Structure 1
Amino acid sequence: MGENRIQQNEMSRRSFIVGAAAGTAGLAAAGLFSGCSAQPNTSTDNAEKTNSPTIPEEFTDGVYLTKAISMHGPINVKTVIADGAISEVTVLNNRESYVIGEAAINSMPQRILDSQCIDVDCVTGATLTSMAIQNAVSEAITLAGGDPGNFKGYQSPEPKEADVERECDVAIMGAGMAGLMAAWKLAENGKSVMVFEKMPYVGGCMPITSTAWNAQDTIIQKAWGTEQIFEAWSSVEAQLQSYREGRIEPDNPYYNPDMPFITPMFDAARDATDMMINIGVGFCPISDWPAPQLAPGAFSIGGKFCLDIVKNYLTYQLGVEIITEAPVTELVTNEGAVTGLVAKGADGTVYHIASKAVMLASGGYISNNELMEQYQPDELKFPLMGPPWATGDGLLLGQEAGAALETMDQGVTSHYSGAVSHAEISYIHYVCPGVVVNGSGARFVSENMEYKQALRVFKDQPTTDFYWVFDEVSRQGMVPSGNSYRLDYTFLLETGDATEAGNYQELAEKLNLPDLTATLDAVNECARNGAVDEFGNEKLRAMLLDGNMYAIKVTPTPYIAQGGLKVDPACHVQKEDGTPIAGLYAAGDVVGSVENRDGAMYRIGLTQAIAYGLIAGETMSAEL
């Protein structure tokens, strides 16, 4: 059942991308191909003829500009046809994530060019971006009068298998931030380290986060001045106190007021941040965001530069060996102790590694259908948008070695995504202030709720239709210059995620939301009186209901499943009875949220990965 559901989600995304690509008009240079006419025409037939490009009867050389919708919006591609062949493919602009989407942007055009096939292998982990480029080139061939079927039939080269035997002090499965921080500390302490990563890039979730984490008493915070920072974020002790006073939940089955997992996390997050600063990783001024945020800006661009610096420092200065596209397939054990691993590279090389310790830092399991059906079946009401590497490999290997699982009952964490395009839009409520309503147009939750926890409330609604509703003033926040995050959400008007109407009554009618007008009237009444609404929201503002109104159809999309390998605060992987498995350590999403272990809801996974990666490195350094 789970497998069919995921396949349907993937097909809906693919169908949308194909449809979006086919629906865009290609333009050719030097008059070889004309684009859409801007002349008005009241006739539907004439309008279709005017806006539809003229396709030549023969395959025609030229420059064709096409676009397709990908994970984060449109991708514009230039395809040059010369002498009946593809002579150039260039991605002109895009909104894809740095590192991950960038991997497809950088390699797919050359793959298509070299093979003359549009159905070349997609870049692992960047499937949607790869498919968008393929679709854009396919449309260019069609617009040139050619048959895209003539440019299919790609055959992947057969890898040449070879066995390699190696030794090291520590072998690490996964080159996300947990694995990289552990490798850093180990190598600084003189240990030899090999890191195996199944994706073609390093960094794990770093490139798809806001690139901010929760750390206090850092160099940058001290320089900024603690008096400029929110009190609860002004020091490690202040942050721990905020957990004691509200974030850990006494009715949670894992409640522990001593916070043995959370307490060391903040000390390690501070130390890890300072380590990065000392090798040149840039951070933005703190301003109104009290956590360290990577420079030169929010979101994946900061993560890209951080990863470049950290990876180069580890490999060139500390001698850490990082092998990408080499998934770990087996843990080697001897009399109950883990003594190495086996990994298989994309080129066919099989690595047999003997080591004194193995660390699992391979990510979570949300992209594993069977595990989700087993542990999180209630969350499958919505489409999953987890990272492609989160297939539970490390969790399963750990279990084979005798490890127990813990906190598997803590649910999932979700993004907001566009219900039509499936583009991730988790910050829409920050950049476009408004209200969220259900399929009838009624409010049911505070808009101040963190998007990470939204699924807990959304899944209890009888419908999966939800809308983010806002006015013309808030719409200005859809452009990068209109919000402090420099996000561009204007593409939602192109993809069909966003609906525009002349006023709120018209919007309610367009979307068949019978309760919307009464809902927005009540919101305005509450805002004008300065009252707190029934959901405890103190920040409602009056809307311009008689001007243009907008609604974005959103859906919660689970991206992290909580729970994972049982570990102690020093990162030893444990059996059911709490005894450690000799030689085996773990950190990051493979162990789930360490906050859950003390009875707190998940907050910032990047904090946990960076901090506990460092803790794991310190533990292994001391024990080897």
Structure 2
Amino acid sequence: MKKWIPTVLAAAMALSLLSGCGAKKELADVVVVGAGGAGLAAAVRAQEEGANVIVLEKMPIVGGNTARATGGLNAAGTKQQIDKGFKDSVKLFYEDTMKGGYKKNNPELVKLLTEQAKDSVEWLENYGADMSDVGRMAGASVNRTHRPAGGAAVGSHIAMVLEKTAKEKNIDVRTRHQMTDILIDKDGAVTGITAKDKEGKEYTIQTKAVVLATGGFSANQEMVISYKPELKGFATTNHPGATGDAITIAEKHGAALIDMAEIQTHPTVVPEKGVMVTEAVRGNGAILVNKSGERFVNELLTRDVVSKAILGQQDGRAYLLFDKGLRDSLKATEEYFKMQLVTEAESVEALAEKLGIEKAVLANTVGNYNKGVKAGKDGQFQRPDLPRELKDGPFYAIEVTPAVHHTMGGLKINTDAEVLNKDGQAIKGLYAAGEVTGGVHGGNRLGGNALADIITFGKIAGLNAFNHVKAEQ
């Protein structure tokens, strides 16, 4: 790939410049704010073109919520699907995503996502990611969720691959450095950012392109309830840095927001622990039972529907029930055992006793489900995918309840990942990708679409940020 040698910004290679006795000033071609999956993807993509990139991450480590993602990355038409005999198409992927978002999604953004997610899988593989396993998440018509072999947790793997790649490319990634403002000139174009380093010292980075990739605001309870009061008191699955800072800063400079009240709860989160149990557990065949030992919902309905169903049960809680066969099929489950979140027993009846459930009721529930698996039809709740019977002991249960998981709303962007102002015009030099944006997921995000979103739009933002800087020289 042809490398671009900066001209005006060549002096940036000397790193910092001092202006009198004032705050330190630096130069960069592209500044990326946030070192989760979207930010690292943007940084790597810009650097591929030869850009000098600085990445700021306010937390002590990189990865953000990406490092917590366990399910997978949705993509259609991949070689993995073809090799495994899963028939999929971009059209079907698009339809599932629009349906899952209650058609509140921006169709142009969804079209781009579903067309380019396949390329995102291949791009990650080129840097050493293992995306060989293909499963199914709720709301998908076919298996399209890509993850490491054996169903291992995908997010931490992707974060590790991108972090390693950034290091190999000598990208300047600074942890515990926080953006405090975006600098915009009288013509409405980005000229840089201000930031604080790990000692709290202020400095400025001059740049003509900023990519915001700071994630959503699920960990900001005040901001959450300002848009959705009924979520007051809900825990969150997000890391503590997901507080929406960049959204607030960009809005101050005229950025438009979209879908801010569209806030998703994840149905299977361990109470008091805040640990999310990946949707892939249900996708691989687990069932949900209430405290009476009965199923009460099609486990593969969308997250909002399943969350509401759980909240309608006694104490607003349920048990995710599975067996050794499922555990062996999904390496991601091992983390829950290490964290001692699982109740286990050699038989369904013994598990019922440990959970305080009537033995006959739970045994009957599992038995009826297994009959449905054998018949290829769930007569009780019309679950569309029945991958396995639950018959191989030991048997396991994890208590779960919904928690705030994903904020579908955020900065309004176009298909070039440019941030738009309230008049629908692009703010020159300002880009955004991932959960900091809105419009991609509409009223509900499908499991597996977040990673597709952050990698696909992260790459788009990084490339277009570079192209903007190049055009300005």
Whether the TM-score (by the shorter chain) exceeds 0.5 is yes
Q: Give SS of 1:417's match.
A: strand
Aligned partner of 1:265 in structure 2 is: 113
Paired positions, count: 438
Query: Residue deviations 1:435-481, cap 9 Å, x none?
Result: 312234332211234668632433344631211235xxx14644xxx
1:621 pairs with 466, 469, 472, which one? 466
Deviations for 1:205-243, whole angstroms, at most 9, x for unmatched residues? 33222374234566xx2xx683544111xxxxx123342
Letter in 1 for 2:181: E
**Equivalent AA in structure 1 for residue 51 of structure 2:** K
Corresponding residue number in structure 1 for 2:203: 351
Question: In the alignment, what sits opposite 1:195?
Answer: 55
In structure 1, the partner of 2:11 is none
Q: CA deviation at 1:325?
A: 0.8
The alignment's C-alpha RMSD in Å is 3.8
- Of the candidates 161, 172, 186, which is equivalent to residue 321 of structure 1? 172
Say which structure, 1 or 2, has more relative contact order (CA 8 Å, 6+ apart): 2
Question: Does the aligned pair in 1 maintain the 2:36–2:159 contact within 8 Å?
Answer: no
Alignment of 1:187-586 (within 5 A): 187-210=47-70, 212-216=72-76, 221=79, 226=82, 228-232=84-88, 238-244=89-95, 246-249=96-99, 252=102, 254=104, 259-278=107-126, 280-286=127-133, 290=144, 292-294=146-148, 298-299=152-153, 302-303=157-158, 305-315=160-170, 320-335=171-186, 336-380=188-232, 382-414=234-266, 416-419=268-271, 421-426=273-278, 429-430=281-282, 433-449=285-301, 454-461=306-313, 463-470=315-322, 474-475=323-324, 477-478=326-327, 482-485=328-331, 487-488=333-334, 491=337, 494=340, 497-498=342-343, 500=345, 504=349, 507=352, 511=356, 516=362, 519-520=365-366, 522-523=368-369, 526=372, 531-537=377-383, 539=386, 550-586=396-432
Residues of 2 paired with 1:353 and 1:251: CA distance? 38
Q: Report the residue type matching 1:325 in the other structure.
A: R
Alignment check: 8 A CA contact 2:35 2:55 kept: yes
Contact 1:362 1:394 in 2 (8 A): yes
Q: Is the Cα–Cα contact under 8 Å of residues 63 and 156 in structure 2 kept in the other structure?
A: no
Calculate the TM-score normalised by the size of structure 1.
0.61
Q: d(CA) in 1 for partners of 2:402 and 2:301?
A: 13
Once residues 296 and 227 of structure 1 are traced to their aligned partners in structure 2, the CA distance between those partners, rounded to angstroms, is 16
TM-score w.r.t. the length of structure 2 is 0.78
Q: Give the partner amino acid of 2:108.
A: P
Assess, with a 3 A threshold, how the Cα gap between structure 1 residues 212 and 442 changes in structure 2: closer, same or farther: closer
8 Å CA contact 2:236, 2:274 repeated in 1: no
- 2 CA distance for matches of 1:617 and 1:348? 28
The one-letter amino acid of 1:357's match is: A
Q: CA deviation at 1:605?
A: 0.8
CA offset at residue 588 of structure 1?
Answer: 1.0
Q: 2:321 corresponds to which letter in structure 1?
A: V
Which amino acid counterpart does residue 372 of structure 1 have in structure 2?
V
Q: Does 1:176 align with 2:176?
A: no
Whole-Å Cα distance in 1 between the matches of residues 25 and 49 of structure 2? 24
Give the match's secondary structure for 2:466: helix
Identity %: 27
Deviations along 1:419-450, one digit per CA (max 9) or x if unpaired, are 36544332573598443122343322112346
CA contact (8 A) 2:254 2:421 kept: yes
Amino acid at match of 1:309: K
Partners of 1:529 and 1:272 in 2: CA distance: 38
Q: Aligned to 2:23, what secondary structure does the other structure show?
A: strand
Name stretches of at least 5 consecutive residues in structure 1 with no aligned partner: 1-160, 233-237
Cα pair 1:202 1:307 within 8 Å, conserved: no
Q: 1:379 to 1:492 in 2, by over 3 A?
A: farther
* Distance of 1:362 and 1:328 partners within structure 2: 10
How far apart in 1 are the matches of 2:217 and 2:289? Answer: 31
1:593 to partner: Cα distance: 5.7
Post-superposition Cα deviations, 1:113-168, rounded to whole Å, max 9, x if no partner, equal xxxxxxxxxxxxxxxxxxxxxxxxxxxxxxxxxxxxxxxxxxxxxxxx99311122
Against the structure 1 CA distance between its residues 560 and 600, is the aligned structure 2 distance closer, same or farther, given a 3 Å change threshold?
closer
Once the two structures are superposed, residues 9-55 of structure 1 have per-residue CA deviations (whole angstroms, 9 ceiling, x without a partner) of: xxxxxxxxxxxxxxxxxxxxxxxxxxxxxxxxxxxxxxxxxxxxxxx
1:143-197 Cα deviation digits (max 9, x unpaired): xxxxxxxxxxxxxxxxxx9931112232221122222222233333343322111
Q: Distance in 1 between matches of 2:272 and 2:453?
A: 32
Q: Choose 558-567 or 410-419, whichever is displaced more.
A: 410-419
Distance 1:540 1:266 in 2: 25
Paired residue type of 2:198: A
Gaps spanning 5+ residues in structure 2: where? Answer: 1-20, 136-142
Q: What SS class does the counterpart of residue 612 from structure 1 fall into?
A: helix
Distance 1:418 1:358 in 2: 37
Specify whether residues 272 and 313 from structure 1 end up closer, same or farther in structure 2 by C-alpha distance, changes over 3 A only.
Answer: farther
SS at match of 1:617: helix
